[in-house]
Amino acid sequence: MRSYLIAMGIRTLSFPVAIWAFVNHHLAIGWIFVVLAVVIPSVAVMLANAVDHRGESRGTPESPVQGLAAPTGAAARSDPAPPSSAVVSGEVVTSRDTTYPSSHPRTGR
């Protein structure tokens, strides 16, 4: 970030120096500072984006659930998953009948 701010400071100073150079008929110096003022922003942005922030130490990353308090009350007593020995009742349908009624939207029959 500091290199970006330095580059933008140089760019900001390049404009008045270029105007001063053109007013005092120093055309070569004026054009050099105009080119600097035009080129520096793209170089500064590329340098600022090229910095690898992954190595910076900002503390140990933590899981978002590690900081949560343990549940209390009814939420702590209820178990959302049934035990493995629970019996599940229902009906098993094994029919492979693929005929649709006449009003079925997919077939249009």
Q: Which two tokens stand for residue 90?
A: 């229902």
Q: How many domains does the chain have?
A: 1
pLDDT tens-place values along the chain, 109 residues long: 777 888 888 888 888 999 999 999 989 999 999 998 888 888 888 877 776 666 665 666 566 666 666 666 655 555 566 566 777 787 877 776 666 555 555 555 5
Burial of residue 18 (number of CB atoms within 10 Å: 0-12, 13-18, 19+): buried
| Residue 90 located in a structural domain | no
| Residue 72 located in a structural domain | no
Can you give the residue range of the structural domain that contains 33? 2-49
Contact (Cβ atoms closer than 8 angstroms) between residue 7 and residue 40: yes
| Residue 76 located in a structural domain | no
| Residue 28 located in a structural domain | yes
| Residue 7 located in a structural domain | yes
